[in-house]
C-alpha cells in the first residue's frame, strides 16, 4: 500500500512569489485535505477536495487555492506569498466523505516545509 507522498520536501520563496505544492493520496483514498502547521501549533485546516470538488474550506484567504485530479492527487497553490505563510504544509488523504456519524481517519504525508524570505 502506497502512503501519502508530497513534493517538494523543502522550498524557499520570496515575498510576492507564487508556489505550487503537490500531493499524491494513499492508494484507495479519494479525499485530500490540506493543512498549514506553524511552528509550535497544531495543523490548521485549509480545504478539502473530494471527487475533484472543494468540499469545505477553512479560514484562509482566496490566494490559497487548490485542485484535485481524476487520479485523486492534488495541488495547493498560494499566490502573493507573505512572510506569515512560512510553515509546514501537510496533505492528508482519507476514504470517502461521510459527513455523518463516522468520519474516516486522515493519514498525513511528510509535508512540505515552506520558507518565505
Closer residue to another protein (CB): 70 or 99:
99
In this structure, how many other beta carbons lie within 10 angstroms of the beta carbon of residue 60? 16
Closer residue to another protein (CB): 70 or 105:
105
Half-sphere exposure of 4 (CA within 13 A, CB side): 26
Closer residue to another protein (CB): 33 or 74:
33
In whole angstroms, how close is the CB of 16 to another protein at the nearest point?
Answer: 28
Check whether the bond before 8 is cis (ω within 30° of 0): yes
Q: Which residues contact 59 (CB under 8 A, 6 or more apart)?
A: 44
Interacting residues toward another protein by CB under 8 A: 33, 35, 40-45, 48, 50, 55-56, 58, 88, 90, 92, 97, 99-103, 105-111
Amino acid at each position: 500500500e502506497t502512503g501519502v507522498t508530497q513534493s517538494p520536501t523543502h522550498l524557499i520563496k520570496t515575498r510576492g512569489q507564487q508556489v505550487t505544492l503537490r500531493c499524491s493520496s494513499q492508494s484507495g483514498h479519494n479525499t485530500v485535505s490540506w493543512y498549514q502547521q506553524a511552528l509550535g501549533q497544531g495543523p490548521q485546516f485549509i480545504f478539502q477536495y473530494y471527487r475533484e470538488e472543494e468540499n469545505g474550506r477553512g479560514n484562509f484567504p482566496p490566494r490559497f487555492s487548490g485542485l484535485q485530479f481524476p487520479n485523486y492527487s492534488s495541488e495547493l497553490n498560494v499566490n502573493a506569498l507573505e512572510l506569515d505563510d512560512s510553515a509546514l504544509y501537510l496533505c492528508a488523504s482519507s476514504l470517502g466523505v461521510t459527513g455523518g456519524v463516522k468520519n474516516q481517519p486522515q493519514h498525513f504525508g511528510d509535508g512540505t516545509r515552506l520558507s518565505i524570505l
